[in-house]
Structure 1
Amino acid sequence: MKVKGVNLGNWLVLEKWMNPALFEGTTAEDEYWLPRQLSKEVYEARIKIHRSEYITERDFVTIKSWGLDAVRIPVPYFIFGDREPFIGCVEELDKAFNWAEKYGLKILIDLHTAPEGQNGSDNGGICGVCKWAQNPEEVEFVHTVLERLAQRYGHREGLWGIELINEPALQGAWELLNIQKRYPPVDKEMAKGSAPITVEFIRKFYLDAYDRIEKYLDEDKYIVIHDGFELTIWKDFMREEKYKNVVLDTHQYLMMAEMMGCEQTVEGYEKYVKEHFMKEIEEMQQYFPVICGEWCLFNSLACGWDTKGGQTVLNGLEGASVESYSPEQKKEIYQAVARMQKAAWEKGSGYFYWSYKLLTDTVNTEGWIGWDSWDLGRCVDFGWFPLDK
């Protein structure tokens, strides 16, 4: 089993930085507050147009033409339309399955958000709030969402697997990213009591979720667990015979390596990738098939300034106003980091790039130089990302 794919980020789960126009006319920084600041009609119109245009059949054709074989689709906890004021999006996922099956691609359904937040970041649906794990009713709700997804898609030819929850923030990530400073909560009262997810909680959640959905899945489908940014703590987990087809997902970004002290040079990245990404994946591949479910070519070197772990103008930072490198030099940097990272994922069971596309205008909007590397389409077009067909 080797998988090569791309994330359809910002389609069914919104991230403001990836498509700022959707948030126009509001001060909302995340998907929780967006419908609370727009009228019902405006919100529904915006979301419906966005979903129908952002990803279409043609995109599946493009992804297939790049020689990739899978897509990871982030979905929200309100996918089934049962959490006001949000609108469900299961019909879009149905369409994605039809497209994937038509063009020979597989889908990893990734439950990307949880009510009250599982990591406190914008991509968890609500900034600065991380209380989902403390609320048994909401934990149970997430189990029912996973069950319904498994029942609906468990026999579909296009299903590669189901990821139980994206990026639960364990203590290390919570502290490293300084979550509530980086993603300040809008409602301080609501954010009170937010805390990192404990290892004990997430292990129990994974075991329970496995038991609840496994029976609905065909034998060739995978159940994917996220490492919580602690790749090597899972060696003793799910060792029993009954756990089959479990895949461990790790997200490895150079911007996080920079936060851990990685030098911002091509040589510095190479050293870090070999000593950390590659070494740890190789080590853990003995216990689980390991995929790198999110990574990209983005790095501070190519931006021309220290982004402090991928922070942007949205975090109140200036950003570079002029390019530091010629297109040729930039291409060399990106090709080098692409090669070294792909070599690391080869030690495991594959990867999914983050992300397929970006609607940030990196040319006309001040401070976004270097952010185009999050957009796989641009990386392919510029020759930054070598396709292995």
Structure 2
Amino acid sequence: MRSLRTAPAAVSLLVSLALLAAAVLAAPLEPRLAHKHRSLASAAVSASNVSDAAMPAGNVSDAALRAVSAKRINARFGRDKLVRGVNLGGWFLLEAWETPHVFLTSDIERQQLSDEWAWMGAKGARAKPDLVAHYNSYYTEQDFAEMAQAGLNTVRIPLPFWTFVPTVSPEPYLVNRQRAALRRALGWSLKHGLDVVLDLHALPGNINGQDNGGRLGQQDWAKDPKNLDRSIAALQNMVELYVNNASYGGVVKAIQVANEPRINAQLSLPFLGAYHKRALAAVRNAVSPTALVRPTTMFSDAFQDVTKYNYMFPQGDFPPQQLVVDKHFYFVKQWDRSLPDNDEELLRHVCAIGPRLRKAHAVRPVVVGEFSLGRTTRCVDYHDCKGRTIAHDLPSLNSKSNNLFMRRFAEAQLATYEQAGGWIMWTWKTDAAAAWSYQAARNQGWLPSDVSDPTQRLYTPAPGSATDQRCVSEQPSRAPRFAMQS
């Protein structure tokens, strides 16, 4: 997400997949790759030392693999069904505002740490065991079950490059140790019917200069060709490990090649476009003939307007059926001073986005891969949130008027983004930022209990009644219920 520190078709197939889900969860661990197919991908895998104790055993028979691989389909992510999802932020890539508790352990709580790079240095010998413990505990199967119960159908999993390729000096990151928890996440996703976007969120050298790129203030990705090579290798290994292995049941529906590139003096649109073209070829060429699904390649629009998409993604180089564009929206006044202060004006502003998204989506798929209900930041100085929880944050947001606005604001965003390919909220949970947590917002009543049930949308305008570019009505169809109200 944009940094809070700066402004920046058969029943048999379904049965087969269900059995595969069980295999993922039950399989013993085995240090091998399931498939090595093309010399390019094999070389990348070898170079990254991906021998991995977190791989499934691949205990599906060859005959079963042949039968299911014959049914391989293009994922068409963002096309065939509305995406309704959440990001799993704060898990495999640390951001202090999301998980202050990770930065406030007794050994480092007196320090001011800006990012995972600094955290690794401060923790010293405790970095590895503490980070692995975080990977193993922060998300559990209960989270995935709750996501499915909430009517969600997708998770976007932000991942750093060091999950897939070695670091180079002086990079301090913990290499490969995310994979055991990631393996479980894919199994839980398959079990609970959630599609997966694997998002290469942090690239070598940092593509945006934000803490979500690994090191705040560094934007050196485009300065060294080796950074691009390592990025491509990371994508190839991602595909080899989690797309080509049939034990994951084809749960990965999209591969995102970068998150929020920052266009400035360090990175031009043409340079980014050249990487995008190379990444598209790398991802598609890395998919094995035995893969169950060919995932869609997902590209950030780098916060560019939809009017630039024809320039950024010319159809000759980027066939629309092979890609989806990732658009992010945040309505935070600290980041965009032009945003309306008035609630009604802000809702009209949100609703006015819908027709433009719909027009862009008609040419090439667009999914809003990040948004939130937050209008202000939280825990920017994470020390301010020591010991705080969602329960501490809610009293500042749960007045009667704000509860009603938050429900309308949420429904306005959902209605707007559903005019394109759908949405993925940032994030499922946080320590103490209620408006940035889907889980907290749902529990409070700002979001429907089951977002897939249209009868739970309380502010859908009656046919013919919408005016002033409103996508939500002024009054609810019935009184909302909120868990807490001050």
Alignment pair present for 1:142 and 2:204? no
Alignment pair present for 1:11 and 2:88? no
Distance 1:3 1:321 in 2: 29
- With the length of structure 1 as denominator, give the TM-score of the two structures: 0.82
Deviations 1:301-320 (A, max 9, x none): xxxxxxxxx375529999x9
Distance 1:69 1:317 in 2: 34
- With the length of structure 2 as denominator, give the TM-score of the two structures: 0.66
Deviations 1:27-69 (A, max 9, x none): 22101111112222x1112101111110111111111111111
- For the structure 1 residues 127 and 372, does the alpha-carbon distance in structure 2 shift closer, same or farther, using more than 3 Å as the test? same
Alignment pair present for 1:53 and 2:137? yes
The structural deviation recorded for 1:9 is 0.3
The structural deviation recorded for 1:291 is 0.4
Aligned to 1:31: 116
Distance 1:326 1:345 in 2: 25
Aligned to 1:376: 438
Aligned residue identity for 2:310:
K
Distance 1:241 1:47 in 2: 40
Aligned to 1:230: 304
Q: Which runs of no fewer than 5 residues in structure 2 stay unpaired?
A: 1-79, 386-391, 454-486
- For the structure 1 residues 137 and 322, does the alpha-carbon distance in structure 2 shift closer, same or farther, using more than 3 Å as the test? closer
Alignment match of 2:350 (pick from 246, 269, 273): 273
Deviations 1:84-107 (A, max 9, x none): 632221222221111111111110
Deviations 1:258-308 (A, max 9, x none): 615111222121121133x324312311221100000011114xxxxxxxx
Higher alpha-carbon deviation: 107-116 or 249-258: 249-258
Q: Which runs of no fewer than 5 residues in structure 1 stay unpaired?
A: 172-194, 301-309, 361-370
The structural deviation recorded for 1:82 is 2.1
User: Is contact 1:154-1:216 (8 Å) kept?
Assistant: no
- For the structure 1 residues 321 and 75, does the alpha-carbon distance in structure 2 shift closer, same or farther, using more than 3 Å as the test? closer
- For the structure 1 residues 317 and 382, does the alpha-carbon distance in structure 2 shift closer, same or farther, using more than 3 Å as the test? closer
- For the structure 1 residues 81 and 220, does the alpha-carbon distance in structure 2 shift closer, same or farther, using more than 3 Å as the test? closer
Distance 1:240 1:356 in 2: 37
Aligned to 2:148: 64
Alignment match of 1:344 (pick from 405, 408, 416): 416
Deviations 1:114-135 (A, max 9, x none): 1221111111111111111111
Distance 1:326 1:106 in 2: 33
Aligned residue identity for 2:438:
L
The structural deviation recorded for 1:215 is 2.2
Alignment match of 2:332 (pick from 255, 258, 266): 255
Aligned to 1:211: 281
What does 1:348-367 align with in structure 2 at a 5 Å threshold? 348-360=420-432
The structural deviation recorded for 1:249 is 0.3
The structural deviation recorded for 1:139 is 1.1
Give secondary structure in 1 for the equivalent of 2:97.
helix
Deviations 1:195-230 (A, max 9, x none): 442101110000001111102335542100000000
Aligned to 2:204: 115
What does 1:182-221 align with in structure 2 at a 5 Å threshold? 195-217=265-287, 220-221=294-295
Alignment pair present for 1:385 and 2:460? no
Give secondary structure in 2 for the equivalent of 1:262.
coil
- For the structure 1 residues 116 and 147, does the alpha-carbon distance in structure 2 shift closer, same or farther, using more than 3 Å as the test? same
The structural deviation recorded for 1:136 is 0.6
User: Is contact 2:165-2:233 (8 Å) kept?
Assistant: no
The structural deviation recorded for 1:256 is 6.1
User: Is contact 2:159-2:200 (8 Å) kept?
Assistant: yes
Alignment pair present for 1:102 and 2:211? no
Give secondary structure in 2 for the equivalent of 1:4.
strand
Give secondary structure in 2 for the equivalent of 1:259.
coil
Aligned to 2:375: 299
User: Is contact 1:252-1:295 (8 Å) kept?
Assistant: yes
Distance 1:322 1:375 in 2: 11
The structural deviation recorded for 1:350 is 0.6
Aligned to 1:314: 381
- For the structure 1 residues 223 and 325, does the alpha-carbon distance in structure 2 shift closer, same or farther, using more than 3 Å as the test? closer
Aligned to 2:260: 167
Aligned residue identity for 1:158:
V
Distance 1:198 1:358 in 2: 33
Distance 1:381 1:322 in 2: 11
User: Is contact 2:197-2:253 (8 Å) kept?
Assistant: yes
Q: How many aligned positions are there?
A: 344
Relative contact order, higher structure (CA 8 A, sep 6+) = 2
Alignment match of 2:213 (pick from 100, 118, 124): 124
Q: If you compute each CA radius of gyration, which structure gives the higher value, 1 or 2?
A: 2
Alignment pair present for 1:239 and 2:315? yes
The structural deviation recorded for 1:250 is 0.4
Alignment pair present for 1:76 and 2:160? yes
Aligned to 2:100: 20
Give secondary structure in 2 for the equivalent of 1:352.
strand
CA RMSD of aligned residues (A): 2.5
What does 1:147-158 align with in structure 2 at a 5 Å threshold? 147-155=236-244, 156=248, 157-158=250-251
Give secondary structure in 2 for the equivalent of 1:14.
coil
